């Protein structure tokens, strides 16, 4: 019985030690010293305890290595997570930077597109202005050419008329001289025939004839001068009338041109709808010398067209007028027929 107790006790102690070590390892308690052998234990029990302690130490070392491996794997896992998180952060930052860059490029492209559109509009307006200027220059050139031709025709007619008058005057002078020569020949013949008559009668007749000749000559010259002066006055009056007619036509042409420009300005500002098709309105407009609309009144027509016409004139504010005071006086108060165009 004593021997059995000696074996059972060390085994119980060894089992208790195993359980204690496992509990310590489970709680994370580390120990590096060996437990001191219990006193009053027999030699077989000590040997069994030493063998169990080696196994326990091996088991402990194995558990420590597994723990270290687990910690290392956890650190590697944490490091990999941090690396992936950093890469994801960098990817987000790159993506945000790319988005910001694309947004800036889009805004820049919108600005450039807007600038290009504005430049195209300005170019179109300038082209239209140049076209209108060219049309006006061509019209002015044709008008001046027409005026020059009219003036040249009038001058040529006046010169031809002067030539006719000069030729008539030369012929009259030739006829006068011929008549004088004939009269002189007749007088000489009469004088020769009357030589027998008394000197007093011959002298009286000669004086009377001389006076008559002088009077006839003076009357003929006066009549020729009067006729020439009248013809020159008629030519000058005709030339003045032609020039006045040309100027009136030019002024009427200017008035018509500016009336057309005023109608065009009103049409550009006229808001129309289908109900106005084929309808008109007569509007009386009073203008300042700078084109400012002093007043506008409707004189009759479709009410919708009249309202739209007055609104268009009010929106324009200023209408085209000629800088020529004479032309302005003809158009400072004008009546226009406004007809919507579609």
Please tell me the predicted confidence (pLDDT) of residue 14: 52
CB 328, CB 321: distance < 8 Å? yes
Helix axes 2-27, 43-193, angle to 10 degrees: 10
* pLDDT tens-place string over residues 245-298: 666 777 777 888 998 899 999 999 999 999 999 999 999 999 999 999 999 999
Place of tokens 């006729």: 227
- What percentage of the chain reaches a pLDDT higher than 70? 78
- Of 255, 260, 247, which is closest to residue 146 (Cα–Cα)? 247
In this prediction, residue 50 has a pLDDT band, given cuts at 50, 70 and 90, of low
Stretch among 46-55, 174-183, 315-324, 329-338 having the lowest mean pLDDT: 46-55
Four-point Cα dihedral 146, 151, 153, 155, nearest 10: -170
Stretch among 76-90, 110-124, 178-192, 234-248 having the lowest mean pLDDT: 234-248
Buried b (16+ CB within 10 A) or exposed e, 153-163: ebeeebeebee
For 198, phi then psi, to 5°, come to -65, 150
Report helix, strand or coil for 279.
coil
State the pTM of this model: 0.33
For 318, phi then psi, to 5°, come to -125, 145
* Cα–Cα dist 262/337, whole Å: 11
In this prediction, residue 239 has a pLDDT band, given cuts at 50, 70 and 90, of low
Please tell me the predicted confidence (pLDDT) of residue 3: 44
CB 317, CB 292: distance < 8 Å? yes
Mean pLDDT estimate for the chain: 79
């Amino acid at each position: 019985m004593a021997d059995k107790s000696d074996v059972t006790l060390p085994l119980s102690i060894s089992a208790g030690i195993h359980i204690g070590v496992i509990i310590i390892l489970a709680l994370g308690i580390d120990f590096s010293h060996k437990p001191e052998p219990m006193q009053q234990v027999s030699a077989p029990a000590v040997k069994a305890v030493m063998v169990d302690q080696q196994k326990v130490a091996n088991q402990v070392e194995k558990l420590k290595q597994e723990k270290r491996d687990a910690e290392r794997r956890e650190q590697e896992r944490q490091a990999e997570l941090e690396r992936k998180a950093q890469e994801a952060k960098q990817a987000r930052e790159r993506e945000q930077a790319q988005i910001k860059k694309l947004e800036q490029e889009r805004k820049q492209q919108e600005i450039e597109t807007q600038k290009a559109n504005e430049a195209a509009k300005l170019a179109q307006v300038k082209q239209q202005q140049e076209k209108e200027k060219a049309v006006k220059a061509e019209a002015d050139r044709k008008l001046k050419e027409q005026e020059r031709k009219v003036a040249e025709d009038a001058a040529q007619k006046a010169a031809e008329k002067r030539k006719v008058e000069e030729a008539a005057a030369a012929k009259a002078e030739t006829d006068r001289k011929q008549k004088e020569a004939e009269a002189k020949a007749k007088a000489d013949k009469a004088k020769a025939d009357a030589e027998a008559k008394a000197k007093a009668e011959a002298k009286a007749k000669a004086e009377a004839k001389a006076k008559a000749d002088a009077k006839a000559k003076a009357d003929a010259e006066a009549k020729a001068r009067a006729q020439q002066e009248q013809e020159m006055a008629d030519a000058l009056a005709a030339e003045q009338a032609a020039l006045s007619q040309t100027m009136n036509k030019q002024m009427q042409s200017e008035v018509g041109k500016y009336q057309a420009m005023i109608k065009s300005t009103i049409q550009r500002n006229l808001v129309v709808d289908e109900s106005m098709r084929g309808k008109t309105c007569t509007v009386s407009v009073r203008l300042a010398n700078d084109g400012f609309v002093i007043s506008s009144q409707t004189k009759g027509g479709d009410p919708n067209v009249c309202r739209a016409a007055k609104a268009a004139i009010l929106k324009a504010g200023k209408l085209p007028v000629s800088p020529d005071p004479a032309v302005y006086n003809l158009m400072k108060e004008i009546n226009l027929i406004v007809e919507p165009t579609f």
